[in-house]
Amino acid sequence: MEVWVKKAEQSTREKILDVALDVLIEEGGRGTTFRKIATKAQLSPGTITYHFNDLNQLLLAAFRRMVETIASAFAERLRRAQNREEAREAVADLICGDVWASSCNMLLSFELYSLAARREGYRQVLQEWMARSRDALHLHFDMKTARALDALIEGYTIHNLHNDIPVSREEILDTITAVTR
C-alpha cells in the first residue's frame, strides 16, 4: 500500500508540474497562480500547497522538469551522431525540429530567461541547462565551438519563431558547417 501511495503522490506532483507549464504558456509568469494551476489540474488549491510551499518552489520545479526533458532529448540526439557530419546534422535538427524549437518550449524559455534575470534560483536552473547543452555539444566539438553552437542554436530558434519567413535548414546547416570547420 505504501508504494502505491508514493506513486500516486508522484503522479499528482508530476501532473501539477505539467499543468504549471501549461499555465505558464497560457498566462505568462505574471499571470500564473496556484489557483489557476489548481483549476486547470482539477485539484484543490490545498493539494497544490501540500506538494509545494509556494509558487516560487512550484515554478522552479516545473522549470527543472522542462530543462530535464529538453536537455535529455538534446543530448540523446547528439549521442546518436557517429561523426562530425552527423553531429552537424543533429545540431540543425535541434534548431529546425521540435526537440527544442517548438513554440511552447520557446515561450517557456522566455519566461525562464525573464525570471533568471532577476532571481538567483532561476538563474541557476538556466545555467545548468546551458552547461548541459554545451556538454552535449562537446561530445563532437571543442568547448569553444560548443559555446558558439549553443548561442547559434538559441539565436536561430528565437529568430525563426519571430520571423515571418524562417531561415532555411540548408542555410542553418551552412552556418553550422562554417562554425565547426
> What's the pLDDT band for 8 if we cut at 50, 70, 90?
low
Q: Report the CATH number that the domain containing residue 46 is assigned in CATH.
A: 1.10.10.60
Tell whether 85 and 2 lie within a shared domain. no
3-state secondary structure the chain: CHHHHHHHHHHHHHHHHHHHHHHHHHHHHHHCCHHHHHHHHCCCHHHHHHHCCCHHHHHHHHHHHHHHHHHHHHHHHHHCCCCHHHHHHHHHHHHHCCCCCCHHHHHHHHHHHHHHCCCHHHHHHHHHHHHHHHHHHCCCCCHHHHHHHHHHHHHHHHHHHHCCCCCCHHHHHHHHHHHCC
41 plus 71 within the same structural domain: no
Q: Are residues 40 and 92 in the same domain?
A: no
Question: Could you tell me the residue range of the domain that residue 120 belongs to?
Answer: 63-179
pLDDT of residue 4: 39
Instruction: Let me know if residue 18 belongs to a domain.
Output: yes
Whether residue 136 sits in one domain with residue 97: yes
Residue 5 reports pLDDT greater than 50: no
pLDDT at residue 103 in the model? 86
What is the domain count for the chain? 2
Task: Read off the CATH number of the domain in which 111 is found.
Answer: 1.10.357.10
Q: What is the pLDDT of residue 87?
A: 98
pLDDT one-digit tens code per residue, 155-176: 999 999 999 999 999 999 999 9
Confidence category of residue 10, pLDDT binned at 50, 70, 90? low
Q: How far is Cα 61 from Cα 20, in angstroms, rounded to an integer?
A: 10
List pLDDT tens digits, range 25-76.
Answer: 999 999 999 999 999 999 999 999 999 999 999 999 999 999 999 999 999 9
pLDDT digits 0-9 by tens, 81-139: 999 999 999 999 999 987 777 889 999 999 999 999 999 999 999 999 999 999 999 99
> 90 with 36, same domain?
no
* Residues 48 and 90 grouped into a single domain: no
